């Protein structure tokens, strides 16, 4: 029961957040509404044609009407039509999202285990060389923007070693392993950036658990160190890490724009980039909103996992 309540509450909050998110995105995009018709038709087009296009697109109406129109569409599943591509936004969005998911998944599958292992390994040797090496290495890797990693990767693996393809888009009909091969470089760039966050959280959680009284109890029981770590430390320290992994989904999508642009991969990041260049608001708004939704869903899943694994939430009773 406690879980259901907890999750319902979280779901409610997520919906409110989603609404605010749509407002923020919409407002951000409307801060200084350029003349959409003019943007599409170019500086030399006839003013009447521009006006007519604006009317056709509905961009001459007030911002509230436009927001209502857009959000009404979103709720009913109609994301509108892209200005630039003159096609329904859904048709563009879903394939791009699927492509990005592949890339993101590959990056996650690599980074989550090594991030956690790295963080725990560092925590177990707190303050020693291994810890400093992993912590500072992770910190540095994380600090460098994805596109910088990308150009460095391209130089190393594409130009000098010449062992990996420097574009991400696999040829049509490529098999699983070929696809992975093409996606490896961009995924690695994401891995570098994410490693530090995950390792840092796993490290902090583990150190906290190592310092906890219950760990002392376990040691003083005379348990072997291995058992202490496995049963008493990790069980408590990895719980908060789960939540962090979910928030990384958000950072990951932020990185996709630059990565997909550099590696010329037709994912949602590339879509957003193009939509932004062409001031294609329906596409830009919906694509950004989708990224927000992905983030919120990931956080919800993390909450669910967290509450299932944490007896304090799972069994929260009326007693304190």
Partner 1 sequence: MSAATVPALELDDLGVAYTVRGIDRPVLRGVTLSIGEGESYGLVGESGCGKSTAAFALMRYLPRNGKITGGTIRIAGQELMGLSEDGVRKLRATQVSMVYQNPGAALNPSLRIGEQVAEVSRLLGASATSAGERAEEMLRRVQISDPARVMRRYPHQLSGGMQQRVVIGMALAKDPTLLILDEPTTGLDATVEAEVLDLIATLRTEFGTSVLFISHNLAVIAKMCERVGILYAGRLVEEGPTRTLFDDPRHPYTVGLLRCIPKGGLRKDQHRLDTIPGFLPQLGVELPGCVFTDRCGLAREICHEHEPELHPLGGGHASRCHFHEEAQTLPRTTPPHVAAPQRESNGVPVVRAEHMAKTFRQEGHDVRALDDLSIEIRPGETLGLVGESGSGKTTFARLLLGLTEPDQGSVVELEGHPLAPRIAKRSADDVRALQIVFQNPDAALNRRFSVRRIINRALTKLVGTKGSARDTRLRELAHSVRFDVRLLGARPAQLSGGLKQRVAIARAFAGDPRVVVCDEPTSALDVSVQAAILNLLADLQRDKGVTYLFISHDLGVVRYLSDRIAVLYLGRLMEVGAAETVFNAPHHPYTEALLSAVPTVEGEERPRIRLEGEIPSAADPPSGCVFHTRCPRYLGAICEEQEPPLAEVERGHFMRCHIPVDELRRLQAEAPPPRARQPESKTTS
Partner 2 sequence: MSTPEEQVVLAEHPLPEAPGEEHEETRVARRERLRLLLRSKTFLSGALIFGVFVFCAVFGPAVVPYDPLGSPTDILNKLESPSSSHLFGTDQLGRDIFSRVVVGARDILTVAFAATLLGTVLGAAIGLVTGYFRGIVDDVLMRIVDAFLAIPIVILGTVALVGLGPSKGTLIAVIGIVFAPIIARTVRAAVLSERELEYVQAAKLRNERAPYIMFAEILPNVTAPILVEFTVRLGYAIFAIATLSFLGFGVQPPAPDWGLQIKENYIIINSGYWWPTLFPALAIASLVISVNLITDGIARTFER
Give the binding site for partner 1 (CB under 8 A).
Answer: 212-214, 216-224, 231-232, 235-236, 239, 309-312, 315, 317-320
Nearer to partner 2, 68 or 127 (CB): 127
Q: Please report how close the Cβ of residue 116 comes to partner 2 at its closest, in angstroms.
A: 20
Please pick, from the candidates 71, 114, 139, 244, the single residue that binds partner 2 as defined by CB under 8 A: 139
Q: Give the range of 9-17, 108-116, 201-209, 310-318 binding partner 2 by CB under 8 A.
A: 9-17
Candidates 75-83, 86-94, 175-183, 270-278; binding stretch for partner 2 (CB under 8 A): 270-278
Please pick, from the candidates 198, 242, 246, 291, the single residue that binds partner 2 as defined by CB under 8 A: 291
DSSP string, the chain: -HHHHHHHHHHHHHHHHHHHHHHHHHHHHHSS---HHHHHH-TTS-HHHHHHHHHHHTTTS-HHHHHHHHHHHHHTT---B-TTT-SBHHHHHHHHHHHHHHHHHHHHHHHHHHHHHHHHHHHHTTTSHHHHHHHHHHHHHHHS-HHHHHHHHIIIIIIIS--S-SS--PPTT--HHHHHHHHHHHHHHHHHHHHHHHHHHHHHHHHHHHHSHHHHHHHHTT--HHHIIIIIIIHHHHHHHHHHHHHHHHHHHHHHHHHHHHTT--SHHHHHHHHHHTT-HHHHHHHHHHHHHHHHHHHHHHHHHHHHH-HHHHT--S--
How far apart CA 65 and CA 110 sit, in angstroms, is 45
Q: 62 or 317: whose CB is closer to partner 1?
A: 317
245, interface contact from partner 2, partner 1, none, CB < 5-8 Å by kind = none
Q: Does 272 bind partner 2 (CB under 8 A)?
A: yes
Residue 89 engages partner 2 in binding (rule: CB under 8 A): no
If one asks whether residue 288 binds partner 2 (CB under 8 A), the answer comes out as yes
- Smallest gap, in angstroms, from Cβ of residue 317 to partner 2? 25
Piece of 98-106, 178-186, 232-240, 258-266 that binds partner 2 (CB under 8 A) = 258-266
Interacting residues with partner 2 (CB under 8 A): 13, 16-18, 20-21, 23-25, 28-34, 135-136, 139-140, 142-148, 151-152, 154-155, 158-159, 166, 247, 250-251, 253-255, 257-258, 261-262, 272-273, 276-277, 279, 284-285, 288, 291-292, 295-296
């Amino acid at each position: 029961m406690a879980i259901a309540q907890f999750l319902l509450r979280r779901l409610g909050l997520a919906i409110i957040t989603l609404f605010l998110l749509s407002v923020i995105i919409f407002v951000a995009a409307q801060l200084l509404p350029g003349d959409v018709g003019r943007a599409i038709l170019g500086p030399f087009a006839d003013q009447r044609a521009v006006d007519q296009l604006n009317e056709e697109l509905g961009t001459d109406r007030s911002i509230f009407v436009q927001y209502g129109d857009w959000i009404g569409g979103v709720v009913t599943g109609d994301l509108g039509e892209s200005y630039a591509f003159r096609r329904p936004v859904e048709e563009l969005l879903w394939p791009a999202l699927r492509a990005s998911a592949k890339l993101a998944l590959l990056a996650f599958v690599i980074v989550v285990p090594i991030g956690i292992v790295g963080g725990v390994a560092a925590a177990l040797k707190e303050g020693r060389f291994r810890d400093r090496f992993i912590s500072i290495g992770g910190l540095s890797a994380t600090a460098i923007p994805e596109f910088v990693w990308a150009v460095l990767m391209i130089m190393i693996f594409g130009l000098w070693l010449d062992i990996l393809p420097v574009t991400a888009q696999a040829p049509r009909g490529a098999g699983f392993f070929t696809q992975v091969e093409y996606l490896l470089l961009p995924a690695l760039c994401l891995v570098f950036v994410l490693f530090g966050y995950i390792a840092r959280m796993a490290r902090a959680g583990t150190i906290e658990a190592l310092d906890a009284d219950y760990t002392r109890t376990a040691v003083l029981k005379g348990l072997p160190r291995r058992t202490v770590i496995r049963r008493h430390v990790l069980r408590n320290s990895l719980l908060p890490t789960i939540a962090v992994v979910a928030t990384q989904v958000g950072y990951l999508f932020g990185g996709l724009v630059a990565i997909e642009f550099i590696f010329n991969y037709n994912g949602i990041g590339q879509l957003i980039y193009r939509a932004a260049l062409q001031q294609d608001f329906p596409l830009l708004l919906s694509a950004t909103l989708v990224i927000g939704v992905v983030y919120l869903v990931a956080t919800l899943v993390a909450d669910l996992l967290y509450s299932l694994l944490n007896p304090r939430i799972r069994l929260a009773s009326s007693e304190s």
